[in-house]
Amino acid sequence: MKIVPQKLSKINFRPLKREVWFWIGFGVFLFGIGKYLDQELFLFVQEHIRNPQLDRLVVFLTEKFIWIILALFVMVTGYRVWTGPGAHSKLLPALFSVVVAGIAAFVLKSFFAVPRPFMETAFEPLVQAPSLSFPSFHAAVSFALFIPFLRISSSIGLFWLVFSLLVSVARVYETVHYPSDIAGGIFLGGIIGSYFSHPTTKRTLEILWREREFRRQSFHFVAGFLCVFLHWAGFFRLRWIAFFLIVGLMISYVSQKRKIPFLHEILQLFDRPRDAQFPGRGAFYFLLGVFLTFLIFPVKIAYAAILILSVGDSLNHLFGTSAPGHLCFPWNPRKNCWGVALGIGLGTFAAQFFVPLIPAFLASTIAIMSETVPFRIWRFYVDDNLIVPLLAGGVLWMLA
């Protein structure tokens, strides 16, 4: 990917850095207060505030109302993007923030593995919840919208702040979170929302978005996390993946003959010139690789292999393209060692949330290194979206 460094060097990153450091400091302070109040505040809520009428209201707020509001927000954002000039909307950074905060909360839950309060106390939870607690998913997702909304309108931002605090307190009331879990969710959502909605981030992404390879690998990066998260949440099973594969093939065939409104513009954003005979080729093979990985391997191995593809292979493509003066591989001068090493390292980091560290490193190393060697069957090159997850999953399965 050839990005002109001079364009990025003209951007002033100091305001963004100050805002990020503020959230880091505030997050440490908030988490400290949360840990101090974990027992006292939790017990006070359970013993002195719980009552049947309030129970029903709180459950409705956290289990139905917040998801209705978020669904309306997604629909409004989609409508604004569809009808807006140049497909831009101030709501897009907020939508990205919600998605990233939800994925990050899911990953961090698996990493920290903190048990829910109802598993350590005698209080019964008001709602069904998985066993992992830190950070709060509800708090992260709701507070991810706070700063983006505040930048759009101070009144909307303050209203959403009150709503987010109510949702966060309600999760403690339901016996599914400690105050420190809420503090972690507030910090996570706040820093992600602040970063994605900052004007500096917008200007940086506008420059990077002009590069096709950045757009492609950003799609792969986010899609891998979404596949893992949606499968974990029970929304993305094999039958649905097979359905999307069949629909994708049909759309690809029709797109060869005629331009489908809206879809044609999307394909133009992500397809390489060589994909003219197979529109959507990269997305199809990515989804096929995910389908085969889930079909063949146990769930945790499949999650790890897909994350090696989405994180390690994406960053390998972004930073692994050789340039003059870079250390390249003898068998592939188009790949430099530093970019491949970055892909291996971050692929290992992503995979170790589901498998042990050493197997994650070996699987990431073998899978990412295989991408530096072009595989060909007769005259057809085998797509790395198939090779990387299947090879990573095979290594992890053998080591298991």
DSSP 237-262: -HHHHHHHHHHHHHHHHHHHHSPPTT
Q: Quick one: pLDDT at residue 210?
A: 74
Q: Looking at the predicted structure, is the pLDDT value of residue 321 above 70?
A: no
Q: Quick one: pLDDT at residue 191?
A: 94
Mean pLDDT calculated for residue range 31-46: 84
* Domain ranges in the chain with CATH number 1.20.144: 5-207
b/e code 151-184 from CB counts within 10 Å (16+ = b): beeeeebeebbebbbebbbbbbbbbbbbbbbbbb
The string of DSSP codes covering 19-57 is: HHHHHHHHHHHHHHHHHHHHHHHHHHHHHHT--HHHHHH
b/e code 242-253 from CB counts within 10 Å (16+ = b): eebeeebeebbe
- If phi over 0 gives left and psi between -120 and 50 gives alpha, with beta otherwise, what is residue 115? beta
Q: Determine what percent of the chain is predicted with pLDDT higher than 90.
A: 33
Q: Quick one: pLDDT at residue 251?
A: 87
Q: Quick one: pLDDT at residue 137?
A: 93
Q: Looking at the predicted structure, is the pLDDT value of residue 328 above 70?
A: no
Q: Quick one: pLDDT at residue 258?
A: 81
Q: What confidence category does residue 322 fall into, taking pLDDT thresholds of 50, 70 and 90?
A: very low
pTM for this predicted structure: 0.73
Lowest mean pLDDT among 49-53, 83-87, 98-102: 83-87
Q: What confidence category does residue 4 fall into, taking pLDDT thresholds of 50, 70 and 90?
A: very low
Q: Looking at the predicted structure, is the pLDDT value of residue 275 above 50?
A: yes
Q: Quick one: pLDDT at residue 157?
A: 92
Lowest mean pLDDT among 1-10, 23-32, 135-144, 361-370: 1-10
- Which two structure tokens, joined as six digits, stand for 137? 């998913």
Lowest mean pLDDT among 45-54, 115-124, 150-159, 368-377: 368-377
Q: Looking at the predicted structure, is the pLDDT value of residue 375 above 80?
A: no
Q: Looking at the predicted structure, is the pLDDT value of residue 178 above 80?
A: yes
Q: Looking at the predicted structure, is the pLDDT value of residue 1 above 50?
A: no
Mean pLDDT calculated for residue range 27-33: 90
Lowest mean pLDDT among 17-26, 80-89, 203-212: 80-89
Mean pLDDT calculated for residue range 328-334: 65
Q: Looking at the predicted structure, is the pLDDT value of residue 335 above 80?
A: no
Mean pLDDT calculated for residue range 103-110: 83
Q: What confidence category does residue 382 fall into, taking pLDDT thresholds of 50, 70 and 90?
A: low
Mean pLDDT calculated for residue range 309-337: 67
Q: Looking at the predicted structure, is the pLDDT value of residue 379 above 80?
A: no
Rg (CA), the chain: 23
Q: Looking at the predicted structure, is the pLDDT value of residue 88 above 70?
A: no
Q: Looking at the predicted structure, is the pLDDT value of residue 90 above 90?
A: no
Contact in structure between 211 and 2 (CB atoms under 8 Å) = yes
H/E stretch holding 335: strand 332-336
Q: Looking at the predicted structure, is the pLDDT value of residue 294 above 60?
A: yes
Q: Looking at the predicted structure, is the pLDDT value of residue 378 above 60?
A: no
Mean pLDDT calculated for residue range 225-247: 87
Q: Looking at the predicted structure, is the pLDDT value of residue 2 above 50?
A: no
Q: What confidence category does residue 393 fall into, taking pLDDT thresholds of 50, 70 and 90?
A: very high
- How many residues does this entry show for the chain? 400
Pick the CATH number of 5-207 from 2.60.40, 1.20.144, 1.10.10, 1.10.3470: 1.20.144
For 346, half-sphere exposure in the C-beta direction (CA atoms, 13 angstrom radius) is 17
